[in-house]
Amino acid sequence: MAEFKEISPNASAGAKLYNWLDNRFPTLFAEYRKHMSEYYAPKNFNFWYFFGSLALLVLVIQVVTGIFLVMHYKPDAAKAFESVEYIMRDVPGGWFIRYMHSTGASAFFIVVYLHMYRGLIYGSYRKPRELVWVFGCAIFLCLMAEAFMGYLLPWGQMSYWGAQVIVNLFSAIPFIGPDLSLLIRGDYVVGDATLNRFFSFHVIAVPLVLIGLVVAHLLALHDVGSNNPDGIEIKKGPKGNRWSPDAPTDGVPFHPYYSVHDIVGVGVFLMIYFAVLFFAPEMGGYFLEYNNFIPADPLVTPAHIAPVWYFTPFYSMLRATTDTMVNVLSLIVALATVLAWLKGRGSMKSKIILTVAAIVGIVLLKTFDPKFWGVIVMGGSVIILFFLPWLDRSPARSIRYRPDWHKTVYAVFIIWFIVLMILGIMVPGPIFSQPSLEWLTNERVALVGTLVYFGFFLLMPWWSQLGTPKPVPDRVTFKPH
């Protein structure tokens, strides 16, 4: 056992309290120093680095408001909707807590999408941060599951029918699909058993996994160090600054510099958050859909069933996977095989193996129902993010030093992702009412967007190596502000 540290009797009360705690709980202060006061972050963080701390803030808001909502919510198909109305109308401040939770769900996805975009443009997934990115993608996947299960709990029309549509998708999986969807529902239809299962996962299971992944994400980040807009490893640069001779020259202590820096982002975020909460909590039906203020009715199907806005890009990909998509994919596989033969690269054996694989792939595409491939496409659109560290082969990490046309590629990807988001909200069918444009349907445009989305990632090993990157400086570029 280590000896207690002595302190002067004339020391201040704060110093005495610190010494008392440090003698009895030294691990707390050691971890504080490791992850805050002696964690050296690059000194050139910019606007994009607000969103990591904001995501943590929203997680805390969701957990705290969720605890208060659970105090009054009843996970019973006969009483769930009434309990939400009771919270909104009769519980003191209940409307405020409920709107904080519903607005927080959309805010969570906004800051997480922007946080992931920052990682994408600055190459924060590149070596040695592969595991940081994988943990982040796992957080995103858990967040989607958490949001979907929470979406059912108000037991309104969109909650009920949205769950009905998504759960029924699992029945399209060959062999195990019907049994799997039955297991998820707990019954032959979405009902009381489904509500109880989703409530248990939403309140207990998924949050525990989510919090564990957030801790792992932060620990992995602090072990390898933060990336920066230049994509330069400050640990490899010169050592020694005014805080420590062993610290990177281009690093500053996270606390107090970035802890105070992030307060600016928190202040701006909370102003926007509470403005939405007080003046437009439904955000025109995008944050809280108007049909969800109607009790769930299994006998009345809404005219248009669509998920909340943050799921719509992936929902668009699901709807785009029709017979047309299967035919297009079969044609792409066939053309790729023909090009492999015409180019003459590789041995005869590898070409034969490629041809056999292409034939098997086309047969499988034609054999299974497009609904099944829609489930694969929707799931694959998230799973493919996990492999990004091994798909990007660019010599330059940050977009600042990549060829200028790479910025165009990233811009096209983001634009099409937003287009898919908008299409997922819209009613299926023609986008425009003019007879001459009736051929331009929601599904056809979404088909193009889906191909662009997957093409961006699957072709990345090829296009990311093209072009000559700009010279990368030896040290971070920083302009005081």
Per-residue pLDDT of 156-184, as tens digits, reads: 999 999 899 888 888 888 888 889 999 99
Residues 6+ apart with CB under 8 A from 152: 159, 160, 162, 163, 190, 194, 195, 198
The arithmetic mean of pLDDT across residues 89-106, rounded, is 95
Do 343 and 293 fall within a single domain?
A: no
Would the pLDDT of 351 be above 90?
Answer: no
Indicate the SS3 state at residue 302. coil
Kindly report whether the peptide bond that precedes residue 395 is cis, defined as omega within 30 degrees of 0: no
Would the pLDDT of 28 be above 90?
Answer: no
Do 160 and 281 fall within a single domain?
A: yes
Which residues on neighbouring strands pair with residue 42, listed in sequence order?
A: 251
Do 416 and 449 fall within a single domain?
A: yes
Would you say 249 and 239 are in contact if contact means Cβ atoms under 8 Å apart?
Answer: yes
Greatest mean pLDDT range, 180-189, 363-372, 382-391: 382-391
Would the pLDDT of 254 be above 60?
Answer: yes
Can you give the pLDDT at residue 305?
83
Do 45 and 159 fall within a single domain?
A: yes
Question: Is residue 69 a part of any domain in this protein?
Answer: yes
The arithmetic mean of pLDDT across residues 188-198, rounded, is 92
Would the pLDDT of 392 be above 80?
Answer: yes
Question: Is residue 245 a part of any domain in this protein?
Answer: no
Question: Is residue 473 a part of any domain in this protein?
Answer: no
Can you give the pLDDT at residue 68?
96
Would the pLDDT of 396 be above 70?
Answer: yes
Can you give the pLDDT at residue 120?
96
Which of 7-11, 283-287, 396-400 is predicted with the least confidence, judged by mean pLDDT?
A: 7-11
Do 357 and 284 fall within a single domain?
A: no
Q: Per-residue pLDDT tens for 38-66?
A: 899 999 999 999 999 999 999 999 999 99
Buried b / exposed e over 397-422, threshold 16 CB at 10 Å, is bbbbbbbeebeebeeebeebbebbbb
**What percent of the residues of the chain are helix, what percent strand, and what percent coil, each to the nearest 5?**
70, 0, 30
Do 208 and 81 fall within a single domain?
A: yes
Can you give the pLDDT at residue 481?
58
Can you give the pLDDT at residue 194?
93
Would you say 433 and 158 are in contact if contact means Cβ atoms under 8 Å apart?
Answer: no
Question: What CATH number does residue 296 fall under?
Answer: 1.20.810.10
Can you give the pLDDT at residue 50?
94
Can you give the pLDDT at residue 344?
64
The tally of domains found in the chain comes to 2
Do 64 and 204 fall within a single domain?
A: yes
Do 156 and 261 fall within a single domain?
A: yes
Q: Per-residue pLDDT tens for 451-479?
A: 999 999 999 999 999 999 999 988 888 77
Report DSSP state, residue 35.
I
Do 337 and 267 fall within a single domain?
A: no
The arithmetic mean of pLDDT across residues 90-115, rounded, is 96
Indicate the SS3 state at residue 350. helix
Question: Is residue 127 a part of any domain in this protein?
Answer: yes
Can you give the pLDDT at residue 296?
92
Q: Give the pLDDT band of residue 345 (cuts 50, 70, 90).
A: low
Q: Among residues 151, 155, 51, which one has the least CA distance to residue 108?
A: 51
Do 353 and 387 fall within a single domain?
A: yes
Q: Per-residue pLDDT tens for 397-446?
A: 999 999 999 999 999 999 999 999 999 998 888 888 777 777 788 888 99
Do 276 and 170 fall within a single domain?
A: yes
Q: Which amino acid is at 463?
A: W
The mean predicted confidence, pLDDT, of the chain is 90
Q: Which domain holds residue 176?
A: 35-232+250-300
What percent of the chain has a predicted confidence (pLDDT) above 70?
98
Can you give the pLDDT at residue 478?
77
Can you give the pLDDT at residue 338?
83
The arithmetic mean of pLDDT across residues 221-225, rounded, is 92
Q: Give the pLDDT band of residue 90 (cuts 50, 70, 90).
A: very high
Do 262 and 369 fall within a single domain?
A: no
Would the pLDDT of 237 be above 80?
Answer: yes
